[in-house]
Amino acid sequence: MSLDLETIKRVRDEADCLAEAATVDAALDRMAAELTDRLADANPLVYAVMNGGLILAGRILPRLPFPLELAYLHASRYGHALQGTRLDWRVRPTQDLRGRTLLVLDDILDEGHTLKAIIEHLQGEGAAEVLSAVLVHKLHDRKAYPGMRADFSGLDIADRFLFGCGMDYKGYWRNAPGIYAVKGL
Protein backbone atom coordinates (compact mmCIF):
# COMPACT_ATOMS: atom_id res chain seq x y z
CA MET A 1 0.00 0.00 0.00
CA SER A 2 1.46 3.31 -1.07
CA LEU A 3 0.80 6.40 1.00
CA ASP A 4 0.34 9.78 -0.57
CA LEU A 5 2.39 12.72 0.62
CA GLU A 6 -0.61 14.48 2.16
CA THR A 7 -1.33 11.45 4.35
CA ILE A 8 2.30 11.35 5.49
CA LYS A 9 2.20 15.06 6.35
CA ARG A 10 -1.09 14.64 8.22
CA VAL A 11 0.36 11.84 10.37
CA ARG A 12 3.11 14.22 11.53
CA ASP A 13 0.73 17.16 12.02
CA GLU A 14 -1.67 15.08 14.13
CA ALA A 15 0.97 13.17 16.12
CA ASP A 16 1.51 13.56 19.84
CA CYS A 17 4.95 14.92 20.70
CA LEU A 18 6.34 12.75 23.51
CA ALA A 19 9.81 14.32 23.62
CA GLU A 20 10.70 17.75 22.23
CA ALA A 21 14.02 18.27 20.42
CA ALA A 22 15.53 19.89 23.55
CA THR A 23 14.64 16.80 25.62
CA VAL A 24 16.28 14.57 23.03
CA ASP A 25 19.40 16.77 23.04
CA ALA A 26 19.64 16.54 26.83
CA ALA A 27 19.32 12.74 26.64
CA LEU A 28 22.06 12.62 23.98
CA ASP A 29 24.34 14.76 26.16
CA ARG A 30 23.80 12.44 29.13
CA MET A 31 24.36 9.32 27.00
CA ALA A 32 27.55 10.82 25.53
CA ALA A 33 28.91 11.47 29.03
CA GLU A 34 28.11 7.88 30.07
CA LEU A 35 29.66 6.47 26.88
CA THR A 36 32.78 8.61 27.36
CA ASP A 37 33.19 7.40 30.94
CA ARG A 38 32.90 3.79 29.80
CA LEU A 39 34.67 3.77 26.42
CA ALA A 40 37.21 6.61 26.29
CA ASP A 41 40.17 4.24 26.58
CA ALA A 42 38.62 1.19 24.92
CA ASN A 43 39.36 1.90 21.23
CA PRO A 44 35.79 0.85 20.35
CA LEU A 45 34.39 -0.19 17.02
CA VAL A 46 30.97 1.43 16.77
CA TYR A 47 28.24 -0.11 14.62
CA ALA A 48 25.29 1.99 13.51
CA VAL A 49 22.32 -0.26 12.81
CA MET A 50 20.70 0.90 9.59
CA ASN A 51 18.42 2.64 9.09
CA GLY A 52 17.23 3.82 12.48
CA GLY A 53 20.66 3.93 14.11
CA LEU A 54 21.93 6.35 11.46
CA ILE A 55 20.30 9.36 13.12
CA LEU A 56 21.52 8.39 16.60
CA ALA A 57 25.05 7.85 15.26
CA GLY A 58 25.05 11.20 13.49
CA ARG A 59 23.88 13.01 16.59
CA ILE A 60 25.88 11.26 19.31
CA LEU A 61 29.26 10.54 17.72
CA PRO A 62 30.27 14.24 17.53
CA ARG A 63 29.66 14.37 21.29
CA LEU A 64 32.25 11.62 21.94
CA PRO A 65 35.72 13.17 22.48
CA PHE A 66 37.73 9.96 22.04
CA PRO A 67 39.03 7.86 19.14
CA LEU A 68 36.71 5.25 17.72
CA GLU A 69 36.09 3.40 14.48
CA LEU A 70 32.69 3.56 12.81
CA ALA A 71 31.01 0.94 10.66
CA TYR A 72 27.46 -0.10 9.93
CA LEU A 73 25.34 -3.18 9.65
CA HIS A 74 21.81 -3.71 8.48
CA ALA A 75 19.52 -6.29 9.98
CA SER A 76 15.79 -5.90 10.25
CA ARG A 77 12.69 -7.69 11.39
CA TYR A 78 10.21 -5.12 10.27
CA GLY A 79 10.99 -3.37 7.00
CA HIS A 80 8.02 -1.06 6.49
CA ALA A 81 5.52 -3.43 8.12
CA LEU A 82 4.29 -2.79 11.65
CA GLN A 83 5.32 -6.21 12.90
CA GLY A 84 7.25 -9.28 11.84
CA THR A 85 9.19 -12.26 13.09
CA ARG A 86 12.03 -12.96 10.61
CA LEU A 87 15.50 -11.43 10.97
CA ASP A 88 16.78 -10.28 7.59
CA TRP A 89 20.55 -9.62 7.36
CA ARG A 90 21.03 -7.07 4.60
CA VAL A 91 24.63 -6.04 5.46
CA ARG A 92 26.69 -8.14 7.84
CA PRO A 93 29.76 -6.82 9.66
CA THR A 94 32.92 -7.25 7.61
CA GLN A 95 35.58 -6.06 10.09
CA ASP A 96 37.70 -8.39 12.20
CA LEU A 97 35.88 -8.30 15.55
CA ARG A 98 38.14 -10.64 17.51
CA GLY A 99 39.14 -9.11 20.82
CA ARG A 100 37.45 -5.77 20.10
CA THR A 101 35.09 -3.74 22.25
CA LEU A 102 32.00 -3.04 20.17
CA LEU A 103 29.21 -0.52 20.62
CA VAL A 104 25.96 -1.07 18.72
CA LEU A 105 23.87 2.08 18.17
CA ASP A 106 20.17 1.78 17.34
CA ASP A 107 17.16 4.05 17.52
CA ILE A 108 14.86 2.04 19.78
CA LEU A 109 14.65 -1.01 21.98
CA ASP A 110 11.10 -2.17 21.42
CA GLU A 111 10.82 -5.94 21.82
CA GLY A 112 14.55 -6.30 21.25
CA HIS A 113 14.66 -9.42 19.07
CA THR A 114 16.72 -7.69 16.37
CA LEU A 115 19.19 -6.15 18.83
CA LYS A 116 19.51 -9.45 20.70
CA ALA A 117 20.30 -11.32 17.45
CA ILE A 118 22.82 -8.68 16.38
CA ILE A 119 24.61 -8.81 19.74
CA GLU A 120 24.70 -12.63 19.70
CA HIS A 121 26.13 -12.58 16.16
CA LEU A 122 28.86 -10.09 17.13
CA GLN A 123 29.75 -12.10 20.24
CA GLY A 124 29.93 -15.22 18.09
CA GLU A 125 32.45 -13.49 15.84
CA GLY A 126 34.83 -13.16 18.78
CA ALA A 127 34.26 -9.64 20.10
CA ALA A 128 35.70 -9.16 23.58
CA GLU A 129 32.69 -7.10 24.61
CA VAL A 130 29.50 -5.95 22.92
CA LEU A 131 27.67 -2.97 24.38
CA SER A 132 24.44 -1.47 23.10
CA ALA A 133 23.05 2.06 23.10
CA VAL A 134 19.57 3.14 22.04
CA LEU A 135 17.92 6.52 22.08
CA VAL A 136 14.54 5.10 23.15
CA HIS A 137 13.64 2.29 25.50
CA LYS A 138 9.97 1.50 24.93
CA LEU A 139 8.10 0.75 28.15
CA HIS A 140 6.34 -2.63 28.03
CA ASP A 141 6.84 -6.24 29.13
CA ARG A 142 7.16 -7.87 25.67
CA LYS A 143 10.97 -7.81 25.51
CA ALA A 144 13.02 -10.62 23.95
CA TYR A 145 13.82 -11.66 27.52
CA PRO A 146 12.57 -10.37 30.88
CA GLY A 147 14.21 -7.15 32.00
CA MET A 148 16.00 -6.55 28.70
CA ARG A 149 17.62 -3.10 28.41
CA ALA A 150 20.38 -1.63 26.34
CA ASP A 151 23.59 -0.84 28.20
CA PHE A 152 22.95 2.85 27.49
CA SER A 153 19.59 4.42 26.75
CA GLY A 154 18.42 7.97 26.35
CA LEU A 155 14.71 8.08 27.11
CA ASP A 156 12.06 5.72 28.43
CA ILE A 157 8.97 6.27 26.28
CA ALA A 158 5.41 4.94 26.43
CA ASP A 159 4.34 1.89 24.44
CA ARG A 160 2.99 3.67 21.35
CA PHE A 161 3.81 3.69 17.65
CA LEU A 162 6.76 6.11 17.63
CA PHE A 163 8.59 8.05 14.95
CA GLY A 164 11.30 10.70 14.76
CA CYS A 165 14.99 10.69 15.72
CA GLY A 166 15.59 7.63 13.52
CA MET A 167 12.31 5.82 14.10
CA ASP A 168 9.98 5.81 11.14
CA TYR A 169 6.35 5.79 10.18
CA LYS A 170 6.13 3.57 7.08
CA GLY A 171 9.55 4.74 5.93
CA TYR A 172 8.97 8.44 6.66
CA TRP A 173 9.75 10.94 9.43
CA ARG A 174 13.02 9.44 10.68
CA ASN A 175 14.20 13.05 10.32
CA ALA A 176 11.68 14.54 12.77
CA PRO A 177 13.72 16.29 15.52
CA GLY A 178 11.64 15.05 18.45
CA ILE A 179 9.92 11.80 19.33
CA TYR A 180 6.32 11.52 18.24
CA ALA A 181 3.52 8.99 18.59
CA VAL A 182 1.03 8.35 15.82
CA LYS A 183 -2.38 9.63 16.88
CA GLY A 184 -4.44 6.75 18.23
CA LEU A 185 -1.56 4.23 18.11
* Residue 31: CB atoms within 10 Å: 24
The pTM for the full model equals 0.90
pLDDT surpasses 50 at 26: yes
What domains, with CATH codes, occur in the chain? 18-156 (3.40.50.2020)
Model pLDDT, residue 53: 94
Model pLDDT, residue 84: 45
Per-residue pLDDT tens digits for 85-125 = 456 778 878 888 999 999 999 999 999 988 998 999 899 99
